[in-house]
Amino acid sequence: MENMFGSKINKSLIRMRAIFCFISLTILFSACSVSTAEKQTNKTVEKKPPVQVVSGKPKIVAFGDSLTAGFGLAEKESYPYLLQERLKADGFDYEVVNAGVSGETSLGGLERVDWVLEQENVQILILELGANDLLRGLPVAKMKENLSKIIKRAKAKNIKVLLCGMLAPPTMGAQYQRDYVSAFPDLASEYAVEFLPFLLDGIALNPKLNLPDGIHPNAEGAKIMTTNIYTALKPLLKD
């Protein structure tokens, strides 16, 4: 089992390297930034906990930053909403909770994750954090530690985890870039959680799939991001 999982991670790393060849310096450096509008949103949103969904259904918590929150999109265009619709269409009876906060770092996520995981009947956590740590040049080791603690807290409650990976631009320095890119598959391997190597696969660099800021997916891009997540999520689902 361990060898099989290791093989899966190696394949993911190969895929990440292939994807990275198509990621330009400008887009990736910008992709980890928080626009002025997002910062303004963050000032009001981050103080509020995500809305608790009262439902007897098993829950999937979409936990992350602006990419999860659906920055610049209508609620029905955000990936958590689209994921809910995909699940219903395929006969999966889950309640998807959008616990995304624009501008969130791994530390911010760690500080609020206990409240999120205390919701009734949470079965799966989709963990999408780390891009804002990169923006602020925070130590990769600290980001990795924060994500590790989030994963461990989820697993302690028998909550399954899907970890979403991101990439780093070369402007951060070769060592930082290597450490950052490898942090996500390392965590997935260490804790044996499901892993999506690059959340924005098929979206980054395509102006037709991004908002005018060139950073956040538009409505069409969010559909592709939902497909990326849904594909990685399927092994965790129960009929």
- Give the bridge partners for 98, in sequence order: 62
Torsion of the alpha carbons at 213, 214, 220 and 221, rounded to the nearest 10: -130
Is the CB of residue 33 less than 8 Å from the CB of residue 184? no
Does the active-site annotation cover 66? yes
3-state helix, strand, coil in the chain (%, to 5): 55, 10, 35
Does the active-site annotation cover 148? no
Catalytic residue, from 78, 106, 133, 216: name it.
216
Catalytic residue, from 30, 182, 186, 213: name it.
213
Does the active-site annotation cover 12? no
Catalytic residue, from 66, 102, 106, 189: name it.
66
DSSP-derived letter for residue 96 is E
Planar angle of CA 141, 7, 190, nearest 5 degrees: 30
Is the CB of residue 77 less than 8 Å from the CB of residue 219? yes
How many angstroms separate the CA atoms of 219 and 211, rounded? 8
Is the CB of residue 70 less than 8 Å from the CB of residue 77? yes
Catalytic sites, residue numbers: 66, 213, 216
